Structure formats: structure tokens, C-alpha cells
């Protein structure tokens, strides 16, 4: 299972690359530096693998958290506001990556978001409003 928290969810004393390997180890997935590099590239994070979370912007930390969750190769992904800290280009990259991952791996994602752009990547959308 991969979980993306709204406010990061990475280990602050580990670099981005170490966070991916650490998450893989905890979930029993063999750490694969080539796959991790590819994952970081798909999320526009290639140059930040050696960075600690406090050295990153909010959007970069969010993408690091997404990469960490996805590095475990989950069949079920829970994501709380995965694009909230991202600019439009990075939000689209993240959504495209998540969609492609879900389709390619026959996985399931449950995403909570206020980002209307997300709907175009979903099979089902449930809107919850006031008094509903």
C-alpha cells in the first residue's frame, strides 16, 4: 500500500533517494536505484535525490513523498491532496504518472482532492459537498 499524506510523509534525516530505499525496505520491496532514478525523473525530481527534505520547496517535498509512496510498487494507493503544493506543470506530471502507474499495474487509487484537474484521470469521481 502506498500512502501520500497532504503534508509530506518523508523521513526528515534521510535524503530523497534514501527515503525511497527506506520505504522499499520496510515494505519488503528490493531497493532498485535505477527504478528509483526513473521514478524521480518522471516526477521532475532527478536533481534532488541527494537532498534532505528541509532543503526542498513545499512542492518538491510533496513530489518526494509521492515518489516514496510509489517506490513500494503498491497495488493500492491512498493520496490526500497530492497536488496541493504543486504548480500546474508538476501537478500534471504527477497526475499523469499516477494514472499511468495505475493502468500499467492494474492498481487502485483513492484520492482526496480539491483539484478539478484530477477528474480527467479518474474512472470514478465522487463529489462531497456541504450537507451531503
The span from the CA of 11 to the CA of 40, in Å, is 17
Contacts for 91 with CB less than 8 Å, ≥ 6 apart: 83, 115, 117
| Predicted pLDDT of residue 9 | 77
Instruction: Provide the residue ranges of all domains of the chain, joining segments of one domain with +.
Output: 2-121
| Predicted pLDDT of residue 34 | 92
pLDDT in tens, 1-28: 676 666 667 999 999 999 999 999 998 8
Helix (H) or strand (E) holding 79: strand 76-80
| Predicted pLDDT of residue 96 | 92
| Predicted pLDDT of residue 3 | 67
| Predicted pLDDT of residue 122 | 75
Q: List, for the chain, all residue ranges whose pLDDT scores fall below the cut of 50.
A: none
For residue 106, the Cα-to-chain-centroid distance in whole angstroms is 17
- CATH architecture classification, 2-121: 3-Layer(aba) Sandwich (3.40)
Asked whether the beta carbons of 107 and 70 are under 8 A apart, the reply is no
**What pTM did the predictor assign?**
0.87
The span from the CA of 24 to the CA of 60, in Å, is 20
Amino acid at each position: 500500500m502506498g500512502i501520500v499524506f497532504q503534508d509530506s510523509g518523508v523521513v526528515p534525516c534521510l535524503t530523497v533517494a534514501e527515503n525511497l530505499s527506506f520505504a522499499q525496505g520496510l515494505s519488503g520491496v528490493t531497493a532498485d536505484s535505477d527504478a528509483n532514478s526513473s521514478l524521480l525523473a518522471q516526477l521532475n525530481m532527478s536533481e534532488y535525490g541527494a537532498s534532505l527534505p528541509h532543503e526542498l520547496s513545499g512542492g518538491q517535498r510533496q513530489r518526494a513523498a509521492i515518489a516514496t509512496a510509489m517506490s513500494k510498487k503498491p497495488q493500492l494507493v491512498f493520496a490526500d491532496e497530492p497536488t496541493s503544493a504543486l504548480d500546474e506543470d508538476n501537478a500534471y506530471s504527477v497526475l499523469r504518472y499516477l494514472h499511468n502507474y495505475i493502468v500499467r499495474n492494474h492498481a487502485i487509487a483513492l484520492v482526496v482532492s480539491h483539484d478539478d484537474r484530477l477528474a480527467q484521470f479518474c474512472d470514478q469521481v465522487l463529489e462531497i459537498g456541504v450537507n451531503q
